[in-house]
Copies of this chain bind each other. A is one copy, B any other.
Amino acid sequence: MREYVRSLVTGSAPGSPAPSERELVHRFGVARMTVRQAMDALVVEGLLERIPGRGTFVARPRRTASRITSYSEEMARRGMLAESQTLLARREQAGPGVARALSLTEGDAVIHWRRLRRADGVPMCIEDAYLNEVLLPGFLQSGMPTSLYDALESRGLRPSWAEDSINADRGNAEECGLLEVEPGSPVLRHSRRAIAGDKVVEVSRTVYRADRFTLWVQLGQDG
């Protein structure tokens, strides 16, 4: 019956009334507490809204804050073709900064994966990803995947939390060369610390061509 109410609700205009609790009691021949519990779940989901004394109504769809997206997902959203070229993929010893960000000890083994990423065939960014080797046994040996986030997901390590920092800068000579822009061109630097459960699964630094990339973020007060 949860599903019955859901089907009534899906496609209904926000604000339109849902069946009253007592009506569903009669229609399904169940107790009112049963109906309430079913509807409660839909209220928590944000599909229904109760107004005491008036009734239960289809809620205005919740706006959803930005999700954690991969480069491929992000470019797909922009209608662009994402391609990546691995510049470097090897085992390294964590330096102080990477160790701290990955919650490791300096010198611990990490995977360093550097890629030049294109959109519609034109350079878009250079990404340096650092991964905790302990969480990804055999990662380097098994051939690099197309999508890091898909690879993490298949191991149950899809990040559910990310701490990003973003600033503007000028690209250095190497960066500008790879990105195919004039030396000193403006770039957007994006650092990410991505967490799955309690584990830091990815630390990355990405440098975007400022002329090709604008970051979009949606923030909600509710969630």
- Answer yes or no: A142 CB below 8 A from chain B CBs: no
Q: Tell me whether B215 and A167 are in contact (CB under 8 A).
A: yes
* 7 sampled A-B residue pairs with Cβ under 8 A: A33-B33, A67-B221, A160-B221, A163-B217, A164-B216, A166-B217, A222-B223
Tell me which residues from 129 to 171 in chain A have a Cβ below 8 Å from any Cβ of chain B: 158-170
Say yes or no: B166 contacts A166, CB within 8 Å: yes
Complex CA–CA separation, A166 to B219 (angstroms):
13
Picked from B188, B215, B223, the residue with its CB within 8 Å of the CB of A223 is: B223
Which residues from 191 to 220 on chain A have a C-beta closer than 8 Å to any C-beta of chain B? 208, 210, 213-220
- Chain B residues near A47: list those with CB within 8 A: none
A221 and B201 alpha carbons, distance in the complex (Å): 15
CB pair B167 A188 closer than 8 Å: yes
A63 within 8 A of B: yes
CB distance from A6 to the nearest CB of B (A): 18
Q: In the assembly, what is the distance between CA of A159 and CA of B186, in Å?
A: 31
- Residue A68, interface by CB 8 Å: yes
Is A44 an interface position by the 8 A CB rule? Answer: yes
Look across to chain B and name the residue whose beta carbon is closest to the beta carbon of A198: B60
In whole angstroms, what is the CA distance A205 to B102 when docked?
A: 34
* A167 touching B219, Cβ below 8 Å: no
Query: A221 to B149, alpha carbons, bound, how many Å?
Result: 14
Whole-angstrom distance between the Cβ of A30 and the nearest chain B Cβ: 15
* Partner among B40, B217, B222 whose Cβ is within 8 Å of the Cβ of A164: B217
Which has the most chain B C-beta neighbours within 10 Å: A208, A219, A221?
A219
0/1 per residue, A55-75, Cβ < 8 Å to B?
000000001111110000000
Does A187 reach chain B (CB closer than 8 Å)? Answer: yes
Q: Give bound CA distance, A62 to B202, whole Å.
A: 20
